[in-house]
Amino acid sequence: MIQIKNIIIFTMILSVVLLVFFLGNTDLTSLNKNLNNDIHYQTEYVSGVFSVDYDDINQIVVDADYIFVGVINEYIGTSNNPEDGLPRSSYNVSIISNLKGNLAEKVIVYKHGGYDYFNKQIVLFQANERLDSIPTVNNKYIFISYTLFDGEMILMPIVGNTKYDKVLDLEYQKAIKRNKNIVAVEDLQDWDTKNKPQSRERFISKYDVSFFNLN
C-alpha cells in the first residue's frame, strides 16, 4: 500500500516537472503564428474614446505621423501590452509607396489588439459603428501610424490597416496635400473646440530615411 502511494506521488511530481518544462520551453511566437489562421476564435470588441474622428480623412492625415501603402510579409506575434493588459500584435511590412513621411523599404509595425490565446479570442477596438480588423499576410493595405518615443511605429486604431483601394489611395494623397501646412488636428477649420486638444510630441520613426542620414 505504501509502495503504491509512493508511486502515485512520484507520478504527480513528474507530471508537474514535465508541465513546467513544457511551459518554459514553449515558443509563444510560434503559438501566435498558428493562431493567425485560426478561424474559430470569437472577436471581442473593446469600445474606446478617441479624440480623432475616423470618418474625417482630414483629421486622420493630420494626426498621423506616417501613411504608406504596403504588404504584410509576416505576422511576428502577439504579446500583452503592460499598460492596459490588451494584446499588441506586430507585423513585418514591405513598403510599396510612402504617402506621408519617407520610410525605408521594410518596417515592423505594432497594432493595438490581436489574438488572446489564453482566452481564445480576438480583441479589437471599435469606435461607434466602426470596427477594427486584423491584417493578414500577403495582403496589401494603406497603413496609418504613430511613432512612439523609442522610434517604434504603432498603427492608428480603427483605420490603421485599411484594405488597399486605389480610389482611397488617391483620396489620402489629396488630403495630405490639402493639409500639408496643418501641424495639429485642432488647427483644422472644422475642428470642434469641445474636443480634447491633439497637440503632442512627435517622434521620428527608426525606419525613417532621414533617421539613417542622421546616423
CATH of the domain at 155: 2.40.50.120
Residues 161, 153 contacting (CB under 8 angstroms): no
Phi, psi of 113 (to 5 degrees): 100, 170
- Burial bucket for residue 25 (CB in 10 Å: 0-12, 13-18, 19+): exposed
CA distance linking residue 198 with residue 53, whole number of Å: 12
Written as one letter, the residue type at 33 is K
Residue whose entry in the numeric block shows the C-alpha cell 509595425: 109
Q: Which amino acid is at 190?
A: D
Render pLDDT for 41-81 as a digit per residue (tens, 0 to 9).
889 998 877 878 899 999 999 999 999 999 999 999 999 88
What is the rounded distance in angstroms from the CA atom of residue 32 to the CA atom of residue 34?
Answer: 5
Give the cell for residue 196: 480634447
Residue 86 falls inside a structural domain: yes
Residue 79 falls inside a structural domain:
yes
Domain count, the chain: 1
- Whats the size of the chain, residue-wise? 215
Please indicate, yes or no, if residue 47 is contained in any of the structural domains.
no
The answer, as to whether pTM is greater than 0.75, is yes
Q: Which of 25-29, 46-50, 139-143, 176-180 is least confident?
A: 25-29
State which residues form the domain around 59: 54-113+135-191+198-214
The confidence score (pLDDT) of residue 85 equals: 81
Q: Classify residue 140 by its DSSP letter.
A: E
Q: In this structure, is residue 169 part of a structural domain?
A: yes
Cell numbers 504579446 correspond to 79
Query: Given pLDDT bands bounded at 50, 70 and 90, which one contains residue 15?
Result: very low
Q: Kindly state whether residue 157 falls inside one of the protein's structural domains.
A: yes
